[in-house]
Amino acid sequence: SQQGEEDPQALSIQEGENATMNCSYKTSINNLQWYRQNSGRGLVHLILIRSNEREKHSGRLRVTLDTSKKSSSLLITASRAADTASYFCATDEGSGGGADGLTFGKGTHLIIQP
Amino acid sequence: EAGVAQSPRYKIIEKRQSVAFWCNPISGHATLYWYQQILGQGPKLLIQFQNNGVVDDSQLPKDRFSAERLKGVDSTLKIQPAKLEDSAVYLCASSLEASSYNEQFFGPGTRLTVL
């Protein structure tokens, strides 16, 4: 079953604009991660935010986490054509026993128009 | 550093046939995962290994899917017999160890088409 649900399903913006994607999940988590997937580089880890963190930055990426609302957002600033990809949030529900497989959402397909 | 290797990259089979996928994780990574990604969806965990032991296979359809990691390094995932709904990309990932805070590194995947 899919834990996270990204919103919107698809997003098209002009190069240089900011892109915001949201993710909602259902159960308690240890951490939430964002991944990017495109045909050229496959599935790549972008950023991890722990359940006790509220905001995290990495380059042009900003992630927020609101555990009370079970939601997260990913902001990409000053978008570039190379940012065109599908973006997935993934949660680790921490079921114990060393099981830390990720539960992914359906993804947001981002298109950056030149 | 070499990434996660998978083969074959593409496979086309007919339903009821058998198929096997191979994965070589990043050197030194103790934890290995297999995910199934159906078109238009996010990856879904099938099985997680820690060294050569299974940590989680709760979402593996065990009537037709099997996986092994005999020497704690390479892994194979097998489907026997395949069904139409098994058409998907099968992704292998590895991490240093089973931890909530370790990044998972994904291979390029094997795209399976079942006719």
| Average predicted confidence (pLDDT) for chain B | 93
Model pLDDT, residue A95: 61
Interface residue A4 vs chain B (CB under 8 A): yes
The 10s digit of each residue's pLDDT in A53-83 is: 999 999 999 999 999 999 999 999 999 999 9
**Chain B residue with Cα closest to A109:** B40
Q: What is the mean pLDDT of residues B66-91?
A: 96
DSSP helix/strand/coil, A29: coil
CA distance, residue A72 to nearest chain B CA (Å): 17
Is there a contact between A42 and B43 if contact means CB atoms under 8 Å apart? no
Is there a contact between A48 and B103 if contact means CB atoms under 8 Å apart? yes
Interface residue B108 vs chain A (CB under 8 A): yes
Model pLDDT, residue A101: 85
Model pLDDT, residue A28: 87
Tell me how far apart the alpha carbons of residues B78 and B115 are, in angstroms, rounded to a whole number.
Answer: 17
Tell me which amino acid residue B65 is. Answer: F
Given a cut of 70, whether residue A1 has pLDDT beyond it is no
Contacts of B30 (CB under 8 A, 6+ apart): B50, B51, B72, B95, B96, B97, B98
Interface residue B107 vs chain A (CB under 8 A): yes
The 10s digit of each residue's pLDDT in B85-106 is: 999 999 999 998 767 677 899 9
Model pLDDT, residue B102: 77
Q: Which of A26-30, B53-57, B86-90 has the lowest mean pLDDT?
A: A26-30
